[in-house]
Structure 1
Amino acid sequence: MKVVPSARSPLTLPAAVALAVLAVLAMLTAGAPRADAATSVSTIAQALREGPVYVDPGASGQLSPADARALQKKIESADKPLFIAVLPAGYPTEDLFTDLRTATGVTGLYAIRLGELFDARADSSVLPRQAVRNLVDSVEGESDATDPAAQLNDFTDRALANMGGSAPASWSSSGGGGGVSTAGLVTAGVVLLAGGAGAYTLVRRNRRRHAEEQRAALERLRVVVDEDITAFGEELDRLDFHPSEPGADDAMRADYERALDAYDRAKSAMAAANRPEDVRPVTEALEDGRFCLARLAARRERRALPERRPPCFFDPRHGPSATDAAWTPPGGSPREVPVCAADATRLADGRDPVIREVDSDYGRRPYWEAGPAYGPWAGGYFGGGLLPGLLIGTMLGGMMAAPSYGTDYGTGYGDFGGYEGGDVSGADFDAGDFGGFGDGGGLGGGDFGGGDFGGGF
């Protein structure tokens, strides 16, 4: 006869083991990204409001729970508004990014892995359109499309180093972004115990060394900036414009006066510079002055006025750029950079552009390989969020993205800092300000790299 244990009988050993296993599995999966059965955009958006990574049940074979948790932890620890969704092949792409951004309602960088396809979009306050495009290009060109974990980690590492903003408050604090670490407490204790004269001596020594490094960096920059100022003065002389010359009108005289003012501002700002970050206003003035000269030349020659474009990336002394051209730095990924007409022709002919080289610890090098001091100099020429996309993958770009850079050289180097991201905007956002690839490349079809993504944004 079968004996049925009473409700008060103890659990058998197999039953206890089974319950223990279930408890452990529950704990292990508690922090994993949501993978609801429903795959509506609302479901995905809800999951992304709670954490940075969503893996659809239909795409569970693309990214393991362990890889998803590691990716989520990396993003949360960086405290950046990066949202990643892994969806099955065949998921509808029409208006996907726009609808997801609307439903999530948070400014940020949104990346989607769909089958073996990948694309991304971002609010420009978090990452400029060109920078998003360069990031997508870089992982598509270097990552194995059959290894989603590798591709998503590559993209995440590069994006976190270049994007701005902070993680939304709705995310879990498990990433440890705001806690006090044990190492930090131990370090603080050691400093307090050291105390007195020893600590004071150490602080003085560090301050003195830092001041010496800053002075050396400024003197190296001074040589480059003086060359720029001299070159601009020579352009003023070559123009040989006289306000009273025949044919001169008020518009020409205004452009000329503004160019002269820019020249004087640049000289005065450089004379007053005490730190590397003080150089940015100098190159901002020179960039403005060169544009004024370009307008003046067009007026004198009765040509159409030029549009306001950034300087030539390879050497700002070449003046305002004429177009954008594809360029790949050694060991880096392709990107579009603004170039003057002469360098555009050289690149089209398969020749090297004329690159601005400067002094560095390793001899004469292109400015983007010459060290962090050149960040403020480049930032004055390429402000407005343009510089991060141009310098992705270069030595200067990597240095400037480091948290310590702002302390040593200021944040005035082209808007690597100062972003606003992770803010709740709801559906109130400009789709034209939420961009990425946008030129027919990428995932192809619907909302990926074409259609709504390419034309509507």
Structure 2
Amino acid sequence: MSLWGTGARADDSPSQIAKGLMSSRVYVDSSVASQVPSSDVAEMNAALNKNSKADIRVVVTDGNNSQSGTVAALRAVATRVDKGKVYVAIAADGKHMLALTKKGSYLSPKDANKLVAEVSGEPLKQRVIDFSDRAEKKAADKEKSGMVGAFVLLGVLVLVVAGAIAAFVVVRKRRRTRREREMADLKRGVEEDVTRLGEDIAALDLNVMDPSLDAAAKSEYEQAMNSYDAAKTATERAARPEDMQAVTTALEDGRYHMTACRARLNGEPVPERRAPCFFNPQHGPSVQDVMWAPAGGAPRSVPACAADAQAVLAGGQPDVRMVPYGDGRRPYWDAGPAYAPYAGGYYQSYGGMDLLSGMMIGTMLGSMMGGGWGGHHDMIGGGGGDGGFGGFGGDSGDAGGGWDFGSGDFGGGGDWGGGGDW
């Protein structure tokens, strides 16, 4: 299925589109590639490259997606490319077009709407080129007026710089104090997890020198111990919240092997390697996914251990991992940004950011993960699998902020409006 529409089409993911836009300013969706001559693509690329101040990227689509879906998809692409000031989605027939502008750039949503309307009625190639030329003029005009304003502002800035420096020093000290407190809370919480794993491994009461010991159980035990040791070492060396990701990744591995070892010793089936229990990663691998909603939030699917799954399905409360926070305790997903790497490490092998962003919606960590460029995306980690959004084949989970959209001439649900008025 196409990312931009409905029906039997190619599956161009945001990651695939973003990769294409790294080397070209125009990407043509697979579903309409036969409708757009390569010579037209070359001319559009040349015009866009020439208009470097406008800094525009264009995605040519089949035009059958809803406006909201297209905007969300375009945001996801822009976030991945991480460069450019304007992103345009345009139908292969040139009839439908919208523009997404980077916040603070030369082109406001209102300006973009006006330019979209000005070039309406033109075929694809000409519409893209004319839009680019007009946007370039806008950028040049803003740059010129900005230089004049800069000289005026310079005088004002000189007057306030001393006060700004003083304020900066105060803010930096407060921030450092807050981060030190957050790191202390985080380290206490992580040390609790490490200690809990050590106690659970010790409870196996295994004599590895016993010649009658099952070889597979012994191997699981040794892997659990190795991961436990790695987690202890990483905790001792941790100086920043980001360092805790390595700790919880090792804890997840150790807890799985400890659980597998116990199963082998008891003659039970070895558990499936699944994501840890969302409610408390100390519970080990989950056994099923259940629908759950935080207070005041919408339901979402989360992995749960057997006990927590039963509690949720029965309408009760799961056993939530409460971590140190100031003078009290909170669920780890509502204990501040320092716990983002902590959570990310536990789910690193199961989709990382993409899995967490869906589960954390409506929580403190969830609101932080939904930011624009930068933020905690890099800190948390995670691969290329993306939680579904709009028509984008499940690959736009980090659509995020940082971009403005006013309107366009995309309609809703496949029913197209026109002239930027919808």
Distance (whole Å) between structure 2 residues aligned to residue 362 and residue 324 of structure 1: 33
Q: CA deviation at 1:322?
A: 1.1
1:336 corresponding residue in structure 2: 301
1:218 corresponding residue in structure 2: 183
After superposition, the Cα gap between the structure-2 partners of 1:405 and 1:435, relative to the gap in structure 1 and judged at 3 Å, is closer
Tell whether 2:338 aligns with 1:412. no
Q: Secondary structure at the match of 1:386?
A: helix
The correspondence for 2:87, drawn from 171, 176, 196, is 171
Within-5 A mapping of 1:279-428? 279-360=244-325, 363-383=328-348, 384=352, 385-403=354-372, 406=375, 411-415=378-382
After superposition, the Cα gap between the structure-2 partners of 1:187 and 1:328, relative to the gap in structure 1 and judged at 3 Å, is farther
Q: Secondary structure at the match of 1:336?
A: strand
Tell whether 2:184 aligns with 1:268. no
Q: CA deviation at 1:239?
A: 1.0
Q: Give the letter for the 1:99 counterpart.
A: A
Q: CA deviation at 1:377?
A: 1.2
RMSD value, Cα = 4.3
Distance (whole Å) between structure 2 residues aligned to residue 280 and residue 373 of structure 1: 11
After superposition, the Cα gap between the structure-2 partners of 1:251 and 1:198, relative to the gap in structure 1 and judged at 3 Å, is same
Distance (whole Å) between structure 1 residues aligned to residue 360 and residue 74 of structure 2: 13
After superposition, the Cα gap between the structure-2 partners of 1:349 and 1:403, relative to the gap in structure 1 and judged at 3 Å, is same
Q: CA deviation at 1:164?
A: 5.2
Q: Is the 8 A contact 1:166 1:420 kept in 2?
A: no
Gaps of 5+ in 1: 1-40, 46-82, 86-92, 109-147, 422-432, 437-457
Q: CA deviation at 1:247?
A: 3.4
Q: Secondary structure at the match of 1:171?
A: strand
Q: Residue by residue, what CA displacement relative to the aligned partner does 1:96-142 show, whole Å, maximum 9, x if unpaired?
A: xx43639x97269xxxxxxxxxxxxxxxxxxxxxxxxxxxxxxxxxx
After superposition, the Cα gap between the structure-2 partners of 1:391 and 1:190, relative to the gap in structure 1 and judged at 3 Å, is farther
Q: CA deviation at 1:256?
A: 1.6
After superposition, the Cα gap between the structure-2 partners of 1:163 and 1:386, relative to the gap in structure 1 and judged at 3 Å, is farther
2:197 corresponding residue in structure 1: 232
Q: Residue by residue, what CA displacement relative to the aligned partner does 1:393-423 show, whole Å, maximum 9, x if unpaired?
A: 22221023335973xx7832254xx8699xx
Distance (whole Å) between structure 1 residues aligned to residue 294 and residue 363 of structure 2: 7
Within-5 A mapping of 1:117-132? none
Distance (whole Å) between structure 2 residues aligned to residue 228 and residue 187 of structure 1: 56
1:256 corresponding residue in structure 2: 221
The correspondence for 1:106, drawn from 8, 17, 23, is 17
Distance (whole Å) between structure 1 residues aligned to residue 105 and residue 265 of structure 2: 63
Q: Give the letter for the 1:371 counterpart.
A: G
Percent of paired sites with the same residue: 38
Q: Residue by residue, what CA displacement relative to the aligned partner does 1:211-255 show, whole Å, maximum 9, x if unpaired?
A: 222111101112211211111111011111121235324433332
After superposition, the Cα gap between the structure-2 partners of 1:238 and 1:345, relative to the gap in structure 1 and judged at 3 Å, is same
Q: CA deviation at 1:374?
A: 1.5
After superposition, the Cα gap between the structure-2 partners of 1:163 and 1:236, relative to the gap in structure 1 and judged at 3 Å, is farther
What TM-score do the two structures reach when normalised by structure 2?
0.57
Q: Secondary structure at the match of 1:306?
A: coil
Q: CA deviation at 1:291?
A: 0.9
What TM-score do the two structures reach when normalised by structure 1?
0.53
Q: Is the 8 A contact 1:165 1:420 kept in 2?
A: no
- Shifted more, 340-349 versus 180-189: the winner is 180-189
